[in-house]
Amino acid sequence: MSQSPLRVALTETCNVYGPMPAKTADLKDLAGRLEDLRRANVAHHVDLIRAATARGAGIVGLGELFSAPYFALHSPDPLQAALWQELAEDARDGPTVLELCALAHAEKVILVAPIFELDPASGQRFNTAVLIDEKGEVIGKYRKTHIPSGANEEASFDESLFYGPSDGLLRNAAPPNISNSPHFPVFQTSRGRIAVAICYDRHFPGVMASLAENGAELVFAPAVTFGTQSRRLWELEFEVDAARHGIFIAGSNRKGSEAPWNQEFFGASYFAGPSGRPELLDAPAGLVMADLDLDGSADCGGSGWDLKRDRRPEIYAAR
C-alpha cells in the first residue's frame, strides 16, 4: 500500500574525495587509497540521507555509482581499468551496503543505493542498485541492462571495460519482488512499488514499459550524464514515459566536475509524474526533494485517456 503524499529525496552531487591526482596519467597513485575514497563518498551521502530524513523523506535515491568518481571516461588504459575494478563490492555484505543498512534502520528510511557490484559467486561485475527497506534489510537489487560506450562533443566513455549487462538472474517469484521479468524487478515496499532503471537504460522504450507492466509506481533513474544531446533528452524522456505509463520517475544526475577528468555533469535532477513535474521542495545543496501522490499515478494528467486499456501490443512488433 503506497502512502500519499510520499516525500522522496534524490542526491545530486559528485566525488568529494580530496586528494585526487591532477592528471589521468597519475590515477595509478590512488592504488592503496581506494578504500579512503569510498569511505569519503559514503560519509558524504550518509550526511545527505540524514538531511533528507530530517526533512521528512521516506525514500532517498542515491546517484549512479555514488561511492566513486565516474571512472569510465576517456577510454582508460588496462592498468587504470584494473585499478577501479578493485572498488567493486558485494551487494549484500559489502562495506557500503552494510553501512547503509544500519543507517536505513536507524532513520526508518528506504534507500536506493547504486553501487559497483562484484558478484562473489561468478566473479562478474555489475552496475547495480541495491534496495534497502526501513528495517535495514536488503530486499533486492537491479543490475543495469544496457552498457554504453561511445563519445559526444564533450568526452568519450566506455563502461564495458568495468562491468557487464544484467545476466537476467534476478527473478524471484516471491515478494518483495513482484515482477515476472528476470531483468526488471519491481519491489513491493511499505511506501509503494519501486523499481530502478540506471542511466543509459532510460533511452530504451522497453525498459519503462516492462517496469510499468510489472506493477511499478515509482521508478528511480540514477544517471551520470553530460553533453548537449543528453541534456536535451533528459528534459523530455521522463515526462513522456511518466505520462505514457502512468508512473512516477525520479531522475537523478551527477552534478559538478571531478578531477582529473574535469568533465562537467549538469545535474538537473527532477521528478516526473503522469501530470507533469511535481513542484520541488526547498532542500539543502546536494538534495532534490518532492512530495509524490502515488495514489494518483494511474491518472494520465487529467487527459481522459486510458493508454493501458487502449493499447494494441499485437500490432506493434515487426513481423
Residue 78: Cβ-neighbour burial (10 angstroms; 0-12, 13-18, 19+): exposed
Q: 224: which residues sit within 8 A by CB, 6+ positions away?
A: 63, 64, 65, 70, 199, 253, 254, 265
32, three cell numbers: 592503496
Per-residue pLDDT tens digits for 59-84: 999 999 999 999 999 977 888 889 99
| Secondary structure of residue 188 in the 3-state scheme | strand
Task: Centre a 10 Å sphere on the Cβ of residue 155 and count the other Cβ atoms it contains.
Answer: 17
Selecting among 12, 101, 134, 144, the annotated active-site residue is 144
Q: How far apart are CA 198 and CA 188, in angstroms?
A: 19
94, three cell numbers: 559489502
Task: Centre a 10 Å sphere on the Cβ of residue 268 and count the other Cβ atoms it contains.
Answer: 15
Q: How do the pLDDT tens digits run along the chain, 319 residues long?
A: 455 699 999 999 999 999 999 999 999 999 999 999 999 999 999 999 999 999 999 999 999 999 999 999 997 788 888 999 999 999 999 999 999 999 999 999 999 999 999 999 999 999 999 999 999 999 999 999 999 999 999 999 999 999 999 988 765 545 799 999 999 999 999 999 999 999 999 999 999 999 999 999 999 999 999 999 999 999 999 999 999 999 999 999 999 999 999 999 999 999 999 999 999 999 999 999 999 999 866 666 677 888 888 988 889 876 5
Q: 86: which residues sit within 8 A by CB, 6+ positions away?
A: 34
What domains can be seen in the chain, in order of their start residue?
6-308 (3.60.110.10)
Residue 150: Cβ-neighbour burial (10 angstroms; 0-12, 13-18, 19+): exposed
Per-residue pLDDT tens digits for 30-52: 999 999 999 999 999 999 999 99
Selecting among 12, 14, 159, 199, the annotated active-site residue is 199
Q: How far apart are CA 260 and CA 257, in angstroms?
A: 9
Give, as one character, the DSSP assignment of residue 177.
B
Q: Any catalytic annotation for residue 144? A: yes
**Entry pTM:** 0.96
Q: Any catalytic annotation for residue 108? A: no
Q: Any catalytic annotation for residue 154? A: no
Selecting among 12, 14, 64, 300, the annotated active-site residue is 64
What is the model's pLDDT at position 303? Answer: 78
Give, as one character, the DSSP assignment of residue 281.
P
